[in-house]
Amino acid sequence: MYWDKGIKAQIVAAHSPRGDAQDTGSPESQIALLTYRIQEISQHLKEHKKDYSAQRGLLQLVGQRKRLLSYLRKRDIQRYRAIVEKLNLRG
């Protein structure tokens, strides 16, 4: 998947704890980028229901995001709650 630098920078800057567009390593930034990719692939799968490689990729991304959320929950519960609320995850 091709990333538009502007979109990626906007996502990272909006969700980074420091507000830096270059802070791609923070868990919040990674979770936000994964959420964006998950939404994009979900839209693709609505049109192309039999694209099994995309389904497998989607499951991998969801698992990766789940691991990052679990890590963040263990390390800092306030940051976890903030990103879950900001991205409207968990319900």
Mean pLDDT by 10-residue block, N- to C-terminus, for the chain (91 residues)?
A: 82 88 91 96 97 97 98 96 94 48
Q: What 3-state DSSP class applies to 63?
A: helix
pLDDT of amino acid 1: 58
Catalogue all structural domains in the chain, each as residue range(s) with its CATH number: 5-87 (1.10.287.10)
The pTM score is 0.92
Whole-angstrom CA distances from 10 to 14, 23, 24, 48 are 6, 11, 11, 28
pLDDT of amino acid 46: 97
CA distance 5 to 82: 25
